[in-house]
Amino acid sequence: MKITIRRSFVQNIPHIPVLYREVVEAFETIKDGIIIDCTMGYAGHSSMILEANPNIKLIAIDQDQTAIDFSTKRLEPFKERVEIKKGRFSSVIKEILQEYDISEIKGVLADIGVSSLQLDQKDRGFSYESENLDMRMDKDAPLTAATVVNEYSSAELEKILLEYGELRNYKKIVSVIMANRPFHSAKELSDAVKPHMPKGKKIHPATLLMQAIRIEVNDELGELKSLLQSLADAKLPKAKIAIISFHSLEDRIVKQVFSSWTKSCICPPEAMRCVCSNDYALGKILTKKPLMAKEDELKENARSRSAKMRIFQMDI
């Protein structure tokens, strides 16, 4: 089916939503009930879903007050059908699952990671040119990038750089950080490590370091795992779950969790015969391979190049 999106939904806004045609298409068969947007951001996906699905209610979550303020105004035309909640989706989703009849929940979207505005606003500290060391999506959260960089032990920093940054020379980088800290800004930090970082053709050498620190500050992988666990525990009878990720670590988590959700038998491999009742499957994977941005989207939004969306249909 041909998807038509109003130009105002993707122009003159602080963040162009990625894979928006695919998101609208994924949810367009949902005629009523509740769709949860776990990462409302600047309400690009939220507003498109509300427009394409005139009888649904949307519950939208974000932990960033700037995004909440912007999107509260942006979603004003749909306000009778929208509920906005501030907080980390790992905990807000648990409240929603308790508050609502789970058979009403027909769709869940998460477009994880940072928004373009968070990246572009230098005072948020996400850019390697920032004059501070912050990187919190929620400005009230206790852990900042300054604490990670200036107070974590070298073993803790090595673990983060290896696991979240996948940096091969993580030990060298950590030794440079330890020898030069305290750092007061992302710019100071990236200048200090730059000579030791792998030289990518397209990305700034400090990008992987910044990414690793950001994932730690916002517990991004923990948030994703917890969200998926809550959805599995809730056993939503007919919900469609769509997760967009930008990082191979996140995509791997989504792929593995979705695959585990298709398994009907959970007996250990050494079991001679099935004793588990063989009815544990939650539904089916709708995307054998992740959906990625096509040529036309890549032209209008370069940041969509690493976005991958996987979709699971719960059917219990």
Ligand X SMILES: C[S@@+](CC[C@H](N)C(=O)[O-])C[C@H]1O[C@@H](n2cnc3c(N)ncnc32)[C@H](O)[C@@H]1O
Minimum CB distance to ligand X, residue 267 (Å): 34
Minimum CB distance to ligand X, residue 283 (Å): 24
Minimum CB distance to ligand X, residue 259 (Å): 23
* Residues 6+ away with beta carbon under 8 Å from 187: 128, 129, 130, 131
Nearer Cβ to ligand X (173/244): 244
Minimum CB distance to ligand X, residue 112 (Å): 6
Which residue has tokens 């969790």? 257
Minimum CB distance to ligand X, residue 219 (Å): 8
**61 neighbors 39 (Cβ within 8 angstroms):** yes
* Residues 6+ away with beta carbon under 8 Å from 3: 21, 24, 25, 28, 52
Q: Residue 87 and residue 108: Cα distance in Å, rounded?
A: 16
Nearer Cβ to ligand X (26/176): 26
Give residue number: closest CB to ligand X: 41
Nearer Cβ to ligand X (18/174): 18
**240 neighbors 300 (Cβ within 8 angstroms):** no
Q: Residue 39 and residue 61: Cα distance in Å, rounded?
A: 6
Structure tokens at 272: 């001679």
Q: Residue 211 and residue 167: Cα distance in Å, rounded?
A: 11
Nearer Cβ to ligand X (61/314): 61
Footprint of ligand X on this chain (CB under 6 A)?
15, 17, 39, 41-45, 61-64, 67, 88-89, 111-113, 115, 137, 223
Minimum CB distance to ligand X, residue 213 (Å): 15
Nearer Cβ to ligand X (158/251): 251
First-to-last alpha carbon distance for the chain, in angstroms, is: 27
Nearer Cβ to ligand X (177/291): 291
Candidates 110, 42, 114, 49; CA nearest to 74 is: 42
Minimum CB distance to ligand X, residue 13 (Å): 8
Q: Residue 135 and residue 118: Cα distance in Å, rounded?
A: 9
Nearer Cβ to ligand X (227/236): 227
Beta strands 240-245 and 308-314 are antiparallel
* Residues 6+ away with beta carbon under 8 Å from 291: 19, 22, 308, 309, 310, 311
Strand partners, 291: 309
Minimum CB distance to ligand X, residue 70 (Å): 9
Nearer Cβ to ligand X (111/158): 111
